């Protein structure tokens, strides 16, 4: 995911839901952006969605949500176990608790590290790639009628990056 090449040039690419943050070093993240930049046509779009650390972050976070489809219900709990702003690493625990109308199924837990970004670090990295300009930004609801202004309170962002 960090460094790759593709046989053709493309009009668009996307990386949402924090996948980008699995690149744990600055060099991996920069290599990824440069690889995407080389794979896009000039004027092409890269849609990048990720959580960023804002001024309100205190290192404590637990989020829980439930989704139902047919007879299956899955409750997801995401908990920040550790936040190291010096190393720029956040350790998350994600637990999925599935159940049907007749059975409670075994829970599945994963623990993994993600790279952290505050807004200025993310913008600096994008500029450093020399491939993109930020066209628009949206929140986690992806509502194209409601672009957001990036600021110190932004905690999740979907960036529309244009290949220059």
pLDDT digits (tens, 9 = 90+) for 86-127: 999 999 999 999 999 999 999 999 999 999 999 999 999 999
Q: pTM higher than 0.85, yes or no?
A: yes
**Measured between alpha carbons, how far is 152 from 99 in angstroms, rounded to an integer?**
39
User: CA distances (Å), 159 to each of 59, 68, 102, in order?
Assistant: 24, 29, 42
- The larger pLDDT score, comparing residue 161 to residue 62, is at 161
pLDDT recorded at residue 61: 83
Contact criterion met (CB below 8 Å) for 122 and 96? no
What's the rounded mean pLDDT across residues 134-146? 95
* Three-state secondary structure call for residue 134: strand
With vertex at residue 143, the alpha carbon angle to CA 138 and CA 148, rounded to the nearest 5 degrees, is 30
Confidence check: pLDDT of 153 > 80: yes
pLDDT digits (tens, 9 = 90+) for 36-86: 999 999 999 999 999 999 877 766 689 999 999 999 999 999 999 999 999
Instruction: Report domain extents, the chain.
Output: 10-52+117-163, 62-115
| Domain 10-52+117-163 is found in CATH 1.20.120.1810 | no
Query: 62-115: which CATH topology?
Result: N-terminal domain of TfIIb (2.20.25)
**Measured between alpha carbons, how far is 90 from 51 in angstroms, rounded to an integer?**
11
Confidence check: pLDDT of 161 > 90: yes
């Amino acid at each position: 995911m960090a460094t790759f090449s593709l046989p053709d040039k493309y009009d668009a690419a996307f990386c949402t839901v924090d996948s980008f943050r699995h690149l744990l070093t600055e060099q991996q993240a920069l290599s990824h952006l440069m690889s995407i930049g080389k794979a896009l046509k000039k004027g092409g779009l890269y849609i990048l969605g990720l959580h960023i650390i804002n001024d309100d972050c205190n290192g404590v976070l637990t989020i829980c949500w439930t989704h139902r489809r047919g007879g299956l219900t899955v409750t997801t709990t995401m908990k920040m176990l550790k936040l190291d702003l010096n190393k720029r690493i956040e350790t998350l625990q994600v637990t999925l608790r599935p159940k049907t109308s007749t059975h409670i199924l075994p829970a599945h837990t994963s623990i993994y590290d993600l790279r952290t970004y505050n807004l200025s670090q993310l913008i600096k990295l994008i500029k450093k790639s020399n491939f993109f300009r930020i066209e628009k930004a949206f929140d986690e609801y992806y509502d194209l009628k409601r672009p957001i202004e990036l600021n110190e309170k932004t905690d999740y962002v979907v960036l529309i990056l244009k290949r220059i």
